[in-house]
Structure 1
Amino acid sequence: MPLDTDLVEVARRHLPEPVADRWIGLLRPGLWLRKALPGESVVARLGGLPELPRDVGWPRWKGQGWLGFVAAIDCGSLPADSLDIALPGDGTLLFFYRDRDEVVGTWAPETQAGARVTYVPAGVPTSPRSTPSGVPTYREVALTAEAIVTGPDWDHPAFRASITDLAPEHRAFMDDYRNRDDFAWALSDLVGRPWHGVGGHADPVQGPVEMDAAQVVLGGRADWTGPAVHEEAQRWVLLAQIDSDEEANMCWGDVGTLYWLVRPADLRARDFDRAVFTWQCG
């Protein structure tokens, strides 16, 4: 995975100096969750069975069916001081998603019921819960964490907002998407796969996931180019993303990625019911 010097070098090579300065100023720490090697600390896992408290039911999308269990993250085992978001210092985050014919889409906010984050505080008694009949299951894969530095997507609303006062030639450079492609390919060469992560900037497949979150909040029909979407998008941060992973038998659409986002105030309040879900694929 990239060090900050790698990201800076890519930005300096592909972007005009003033644009590169703004992009570098938006770098954020994140955690890459990769398969744990023997002897490495396990901080999360894909698939298997969730550990749920006795009084917590298996998540269900009313009228559609049960959700599938995707991943568990042990907050107490994460190097959380490496992040700039206020993750719980202990307890477990459980991620569920209904990967069936019914599509969870940001254009239809009511479909958010097809994904869920459940927080189980430390000390609460739990036990493994069997998967309901007919629900997809995924192979268990133990994950460890590496502290990394992450950069924003070309169209990330914070990046776009940061360059509005630059000279016209630099703004014109940003509007030529041939430049974006060169920059994106150079960045992708630094990213390990599969890319499961916590915090930092998301690794989007089709554009800023924060814009997807804004669409949910704004009812799913807002103008993508309008100021309301861009302003709302900047209120959201990545909680976690789970990539397609062959070893776990996970494939989201056309080898896509699942994303959960949250407002910082809701994260500090441990209000995970207000998290927003989106997914993207190629």
Structure 2
Amino acid sequence: MDSAGRDSGNRRAIDEIIRTELGTDAAERFLPLVRPSVGFSARTDSFESDSLIGGLPRTDESFEWPHYRGQPMVLLAQVDCRRAAHLLGKDWTLPGSGHLLFFHDDDFAAEFSFDLGDDGCRVLHVAAGSGGPREGDGPALPALPLEACALPSVPTLADTEADRAVGGDVMALINLAEALSTLLPAPRHRLLGWCDSWDTPRPTGHRPLLQLEAEAGTAWGEVVNVSFWIRDEDLRAGDLRNVRRSYEVA
């Protein structure tokens, strides 16, 4: 069976569990909340991938490395848009080729406001066909390849949308999460979908674009996870200028 067949079969099984656990009315409210996403797992062997934590970006000579207060930012991750488009199909509204580059200020020292903006992060798209990896632009984290798979995402107790869908029935959400756990394992890293961490501050009016957990060799001091957030209308329009960042400290 090809990947499309597996994905459609998996989604049918997910929908069936949601209807069984929540009942007809609540399920009809909850099912539209299931979001497509890409789950990533880090590989430490010889696995090859164009989606990476860290590494050197593939850019051309015209690329301008972003800076924060005069210092080059850190390339936290890069996502292969072609692979994302293949896995998500019509649900992928960002460029279908090239890479998304996710930058942050070196020390996570930027003062940010979810309402007024976040100058301590930047998400940039670089076109396909760019040149090879560049050195000397900014701090480079060790490259850690990411293996990608299509993985639907459901909201949790931390999301008000889920609470409204089940009418405040906390046990229903707990039981649903348990019933779905084998079909929807929580990835360490996720593109799109819902926020996987209950403790991550959520920018109002935004949804996760990319979520990353610290990995051995790519740790960010006391920061244990970093997420980049985007508004629905910006995601539909492919506008990366208003991305917000959130993170957790151990």
Q: Give the aligned partner of residue 146 of structure 1.
A: 149
3-state SS in 2 of match to 1:198? strand
Indicate yes or no: 2:185 matched with 1:191: yes
3-state SS in 2 of match to 1:206? coil
Indicate yes or no: 2:49 matched with 1:55: no
- Separation (CA, whole Å) in 2 of partners of 1:264 and 1:107: 15
Q: Give the aligned partner of residue 240 of structure 2.
A: 272
3-state SS in 1 of match to 2:151? strand
**What are structure 1's unaligned runs of at least 5 residues?**
164-169, 215-232
Mapping for residues 83-232 of structure 1, pairs under 5 Å: 83=89, 84-100=91-107, 102-103=109-110, 105-106=112-113, 109-110=116-117, 112-125=118-131, 127-132=133-138, 135=139, 137-160=140-163, 163=165, 171-174=167-170, 190-193=184-187, 195-206=188-199, 209=202, 212=203, 214=204
Percentage identity across aligned positions?
23
3-state SS in 2 of match to 1:42? coil
Equivalent residues of 2:156, 2:173 under 8 A apart: no
TM-score, length-scaled by structure 1: 0.68
Q: Give the aligned partner of residue 17 of structure 2.
A: 9
3-state SS in 2 of match to 1:96? strand
Mapping for residues 36-75 of structure 1, pairs under 5 Å: 36=43, 42-62=49-69, 65-75=71-81
The alpha carbon displacement at 1:120 in A equals 0.6
Q: Give the aligned partner of residue 250 of structure 1.
A: 219
- Rate the CA distance shift 1:127–1:25 in 2: closer, same or farther, 3 A: closer
- Separation (CA, whole Å) in 1 of partners of 2:114 and 2:239: 23
- Separation (CA, whole Å) in 2 of partners of 1:19 and 1:262: 28
Alpha-carbon displacement from aligned partner over 1:118-147 (angstroms, at most 9, x marks no partner): 111223446413254xx4x42211122111
Q: Give the aligned partner of residue 227 of structure 2.
A: 259
TM-score, length-scaled by structure 2: 0.75
Alpha-carbon displacement from aligned partner over 1:69-90 (angstroms, at most 9, x marks no partner): 1111121233445252312111
Q: How many residues align structurally?
A: 239
